[in-house]
Structure formats: structure tokens, C-alpha cells
Amino acid sequence: ADASRTRKSEVRLALARLYAANGLMSEAAGPLAVALADDPGMRGNREALFLKALIATRMHRNADALKAWEAAP
């Protein structure tokens, strides 16, 4: 409960990377979405945006993937 917002976002991003690396795209989307929603700084993070686009692409969510690819800072 006392962890900083930034630290929580870093852990959520790491968890999303772990899930995505193991082909668990639906599971990866959850912690990544929370990190992006909870931390305004994460919305400009290139790695998070790339991972969001990758997950959407692998889940065949083409419209979401295009939005994520175009959102890169």
C-alpha cells in the first residue's frame, strides 16, 4: 500500500512483459492497462506503448493495435 505509483507501474509493466513473453496476451493486457490508467507518466513510456501495441496485434485487435502504434511519443 505504501509503494509509490511509479514503483507499482514498473512492477505491473514487468508482469505484463512476463506474461507476453510466455504467449499469455490476455493476461498481459490486464496489468498493462492498469499501469497505463493509474500512472500518467506511464502513458508516455515507449516500452509500455510498444507492449500495448504488440499485445493488441497478437490478440488480433487491429484497430486497438493501430491506435497504440500511433500513440508512440
pLDDT score for 71: 80
Model pLDDT for residues 2-21, shown as the tens digit of each residue: 678 889 999 999 999 999 99
Rounded to whole angstroms, the Cα distance separating 22 from 10 reads 19
Q: Which residue has the cell 497504440?
A: 68
Q: What is the mean pLDDT of each run of 10 residues along the chain (73 residues)?
A: 83 97 97 94 91 96 91 72
Provide the pLDDT for residue 62.
Answer: 93
- pTM for this one? 0.87
